[in-house]
Chain A
Amino acid sequence: MELLVNNIKKCYAKVTAIKELSFKVKQGEIFALLGPNGAGKSSLVRMLTGFTSPDSGEISLTIDGEKHTSIPSYTLGYLPEDRGLYPEKTVSKNLLYFAQLNGVDKKTALQQAKYWLERFDLLDRIDDQLKTLSKGNQQKVQLITAVIHQPKWVILDEPFSGLDPINQEKVVIFLSELKAQGMTVILSAHQMAMVEKLADRMLLMNLGEAVLYGSLEEIQQQVGSTTQLTAQFAESIASDQLEQLFSEADYCLVDHKTLSLNLSAQQSINGALSKITALGNLTSLHSKKMDLHQLYLNAIANHGALINE
């Protein structure tokens, strides 16, 4: 059971939200949709949920031999970007209503509600009106709403937004548990550290196009830069020397004494080191694997530059 997205395109009036996009989501994985604001993530999510349809191309998901053009509602758990519940109603009434709408009987729904509320330290607020909860706690109730009926497919549009770091960690554990329960999770997020921890595979989008796609390792290979060196010098670095030694795309001056250098898998640290020492008296040198955050920034910058050309 794979979700296949093949060459889809979507336009709203004069705006092209999605330009020829193809990818697949495997059953049981956590798949992340990444991209800056306006990249087309929400438009894509709305097509996956069946709220809108692609202008061209195809989305297909086969369940029990039946082919669907989006994730059918009876198997979907959804946390929309534009979210809200009934603030005047209690937490339990909100949760039970949505669980029942998704076909869960009242007794099971209450058990599920209690289970998840306890996981989020909210069980004692079960009979409180939703509006009396903090924004972060309301967000957690909304997350529970998306999964209370134990769907096979879960789409979470920015699940970390509005949460403090402690609660973000709780959501990471929550998502891992969903995966462990066999749910397939598609999440859209801006918190790269969280995505790096969680996602099995990801799709990086920009301006409606796929920029990077695959697991973190596959993406690192696609980018070609896997190591980041940070060198600090005693004196200011001469920029003319820098340009002679490195290509512009590979380096970045953090300040006049600090240089950040991206190395591809093919480039050795020793080779780079000999060039770095030629720039002046080195005071410190750090090396680290390039994280998703850096990969994301580089990829978006490169894609933007490409489009502008």
Chain B
Amino acid sequence: MNKINKKQQVWLVTSWEFMHFFKWKQEIISKLILLAIGLIIMLWQYVKDDQLTIYTVAVPASITQFQNSGQFEFFPSHESFDILKQQLAEEDGWDAILSEAPAIESVKQLTIYSKDKQSWLRDLKQTLSQQYTLDYASSLGLAEEQLAVLNQAAIFENKYLDDTIKSESSPGKSTAIAMLVILAVGIFTSFGQLFVSITGEKQQRVTEQLYACMSPQTWIDGKIFGQMLHAIKAMLTMIIFAMLVYAFTTVVIENQMVDFSFIDWSLLPWLIPFAISGVYLCTAFMAAIAAAIDDPNHSAKTSIMLLPLLPMILALITMDSPSGWALSFLSYFPLTAFAAMPVKMALIDLPLWQPLLSLSLTLVVCFWMRTSAGNLFKMGMSMYGKEPSLKDMVMSMLRKN
């Protein structure tokens, strides 16, 4: 007789479930792509620092002459415009030439000619615009400081009596939004795969064979853990991908240094347990619903599986009033706390007991949800082809195991 304990069985189901959707070839290709993007960014940064390109711009003598900047050198020219255009077309000729049309209501009308569309043309425009503004300010007798005041005559800042609200310059809001988006990615991943996995096994009639080896609870626990691991993998991939895209945009396109200060990294120790418990809770809920679906093509219960996205949507809607009653309620309501409390924490300073209480409530409801999923699967198995009604499902979820 071979006795196997439940933990070993849960681990076997978890790894089977994970590997069922884990395709080595696909994973290696996608990770290599991410690695390649990362290498491109590093290489770009290196090359850019090593060889700073200077662009030469021909400026007809009739036009105001400009001061050279680090990126652009301006050369006054007495040649005709046609000759300048010919020189522009040559291999070692100008990078750009300028031509000026009559001003309209004192606004200069300039055209920049170049061989083709290049990203540095935007910087050239900006450089020229700045110089024209300074020239105009100077012609009005304005000093550079006066011009700065004209550009921004007043700076506003909000101050609240509630001193727990974090400064607007803090990266709280972007951190909160990023977390909600990443959670949604994880939950969407679980939704798709769990639905296919559980209803698929029912359709393939494997469940009764599995039921003979282990308890419904063991099976559902393995399913939840396996899909949770997939969700976490999807979330990590999403984080890496988003960071690489941001770095690519900043370094390669905008020629700036990478700066992740828009994320409040000090929240990370809280975000991780909330995110993991949230993904677990949602996966357990979806497993419970999928376990009660007999025929996915004709069941009306599929749409219920989308309910776990609701906490993220509610947290997003209520985040503009972080100390308001709505977000406060959602932060302690066990079914929404995993999404709402991190948002609240990102936006206002909270005493330690508040996130601790919220996390504890979430963990309690996680345990209840996985037990309910096990009960629902058992009920579905004993009904042989019939689907339990919503009333049956609620009764089963409320029943003590």
CA distance A85 to B8 in the complex (A): 21
Does A195 lie at the interface of the complex (its beta carbon under 8 Å from any beta carbon of B)? no
Chain B CB within 10 Å, residue with most, of A49, A75, A83, A100: A100
Taking a contact as CB atoms under 8 Å apart, the answer to whether A102 and B2 are in contact is: yes
Q: Using known A-B contacts A51-B382, A97-B12, determine if residue A83 contacts B208 with beta carbons closer than 8 Å.
A: yes
Interface membership of chain A positions 46-82, coded 1 if the CB is closer than 8 angstroms to chain B and 0 otherwise: 0001011000000000010000000001111110101
Chain B, residue nearest A108 (CB) = B2
Taking a contact as CB atoms under 8 Å apart, the answer to whether A82 and B213 are in contact is: no
CA distance A98 to B212 in the complex (A): 10
Does B4 lie at the interface of the complex (its beta carbon under 8 Å from any beta carbon of A)? yes
Taking a contact as CB atoms under 8 Å apart, the answer to whether B3 and A74 are in contact is: yes
Does A201 lie at the interface of the complex (its beta carbon under 8 Å from any beta carbon of B)? no
Shortest distance from the beta carbon of B59 to any chain A beta carbon, whole Å: 69
CA distance A78 to B13 in the complex (A): 19
Taking a contact as CB atoms under 8 Å apart, the answer to whether A98 and B209 are in contact is: yes
Does B155 lie at the interface of the complex (its beta carbon under 8 Å from any beta carbon of A)? no
Find residues 5-19 in chain B having any chain A CB closer than 8 Å to their own CB. 8-9, 12-13, 16
Contacts of A104 in B (CB 8 A): 2
Taking a contact as CB atoms under 8 Å apart, the answer to whether A101 and B12 are in contact is: yes
Chain A, residue nearest B382 (CB) = A52
Chain B, residue nearest A149 (CB) = B2
Taking a contact as CB atoms under 8 Å apart, the answer to whether A80 and B208 are in contact is: yes
The prevalent SS among residues of A at the interface is loop
Does A152 lie at the interface of the complex (its beta carbon under 8 Å from any beta carbon of B)? yes
Q: Using known A-B contacts A52-B382, A101-B213, A101-B214, determine if residue A86 contacts B2 with beta carbons closer than 8 Å.
A: no
Shortest distance from the beta carbon of A309 to any chain B beta carbon, whole Å: 32
Taking a contact as CB atoms under 8 Å apart, the answer to whether A74 and B4 are in contact is: yes
Does B246 lie at the interface of the complex (its beta carbon under 8 Å from any beta carbon of A)? no
Taking a contact as CB atoms under 8 Å apart, the answer to whether B211 and A51 are in contact is: yes
Taking a contact as CB atoms under 8 Å apart, the answer to whether B214 and A84 are in contact is: no
Does B109 lie at the interface of the complex (its beta carbon under 8 Å from any beta carbon of A)? no
Shortest distance from the beta carbon of B400 to any chain A beta carbon, whole Å: 17
Does B381 lie at the interface of the complex (its beta carbon under 8 Å from any beta carbon of A)? yes
Contacts of A150 in B (CB 8 A): 2
Chain A, residue nearest B9 (CB) = A101
Contacts of B8 in A (CB 8 A): 103
Taking a contact as CB atoms under 8 Å apart, the answer to whether A98 and B213 are in contact is: yes
Does B147 lie at the interface of the complex (its beta carbon under 8 Å from any beta carbon of A)? no
CA distance A77 to B212 in the complex (A): 8
Which of A51, A82, A103, A151 is in CB contact (< 8 Å) with B4?
A: A103
Does A38 lie at the interface of the complex (its beta carbon under 8 Å from any beta carbon of B)? no
Which of A77, A87, A103 is in CB contact (< 8 Å) with B3?
A: A103
CA distance A83 to B211 in the complex (A): 12
Find residues 169-228 in chain A having any chain B CB closer than 8 Å to their own CB. none
CA distance A100 to B212 in the complex (A): 13
Does B210 lie at the interface of the complex (its beta carbon under 8 Å from any beta carbon of A)? yes
Taking a contact as CB atoms under 8 Å apart, the answer to whether A87 and B212 are in contact is: no
CA distance A76 to B4 in the complex (A): 13
Shortest distance from the beta carbon of A252 to any chain B beta carbon, whole Å: 38
CA distance A97 to B12 in the complex (A): 8
Taking a contact as CB atoms under 8 Å apart, the answer to whether A82 and B205 are in contact is: yes
Chain B, residue nearest A63 (CB) = B1
Interface membership of chain B positions 8-39, coded 1 if the CB is closer than 8 angstroms to chain A and 0 otherwise: 11001100100000000000000000000000
Interface size of A in residues (CB-CB distance below 8 Å):
30
Contacts of A52 in B (CB 8 A): 382
CA distance A100 to B14 in the complex (A): 13
Taking a contact as CB atoms under 8 Å apart, the answer to whether A83 and B205 are in contact is: yes
CA distance A101 to B210 in the complex (A): 9
Shortest distance from the beta carbon of A147 to any chain B beta carbon, whole Å: 12
Contacts of B104 in A (CB 8 A): none
Interface membership of chain B positions 295-331, coded 1 if the CB is closer than 8 angstroms to chain A and 0 otherwise: 0000000000000000000000000000000000000
Find residues 206-228 in chain B having any chain A CB closer than 8 Å to their own CB. 206, 208-215
Contacts of B384 in A (CB 8 A): 82
Chain A, residue nearest B381 (CB) = A51
Shortest distance from the beta carbon of A116 to any chain B beta carbon, whole Å: 16
Taking a contact as CB atoms under 8 Å apart, the answer to whether B204 and A82 are in contact is: no
Which of A63, A85, A100, A103 is in CB contact (< 8 Å) with B209?
A: A85
CA distance A104 to B8 in the complex (A): 11
Taking a contact as CB atoms under 8 Å apart, the answer to whether A74 and B2 are in contact is: yes
Shortest distance from the beta carbon of A100 to any chain B beta carbon, whole Å: 6
Does A232 lie at the interface of the complex (its beta carbon under 8 Å from any beta carbon of B)? no
Does A145 lie at the interface of the complex (its beta carbon under 8 Å from any beta carbon of B)? yes
Contacts of A74 in B (CB 8 A): 1-4
Q: Using known A-B contacts A84-B206, A101-B9, A101-B12, determine if residue A76 contacts B2 with beta carbons closer than 8 Å.
A: no
Taking a contact as CB atoms under 8 Å apart, the answer to whether B209 and A80 are in contact is: yes
Interface membership of chain B positions 40-51, coded 1 if the CB is closer than 8 angstroms to chain A and 0 otherwise: 000000000000
Contacts of A102 in B (CB 8 A): 2, 4, 213
- In order of increasing CB-CB distance, the 8 nearest A-B pairs are A103-B2, A84-B205, A103-B4, A78-B212, A80-B208, A101-B213, A84-B204, A74-B3
29 contacts between A and B (CB under 8 A): A49-B212, A51-B208, A51-B211, A63-B1, A73-B212, A74-B1, A74-B2, A77-B212, A78-B208, A80-B209, A80-B212, A82-B208, A84-B206, A84-B209, A85-B209, A86-B204, A98-B209, A101-B12, A101-B13, A101-B210, A101-B214, A102-B2, A102-B4, A102-B213, A103-B3, A103-B4, A145-B209, A149-B2, A152-B1
Q: A82-B208, A84-B205 are in contact. List 11 more A-B contacts (CB 8 A).
A: A49-B211, A49-B212, A63-B1, A73-B215, A74-B1, A78-B208, A78-B212, A80-B209, A80-B212, A103-B8, A151-B1
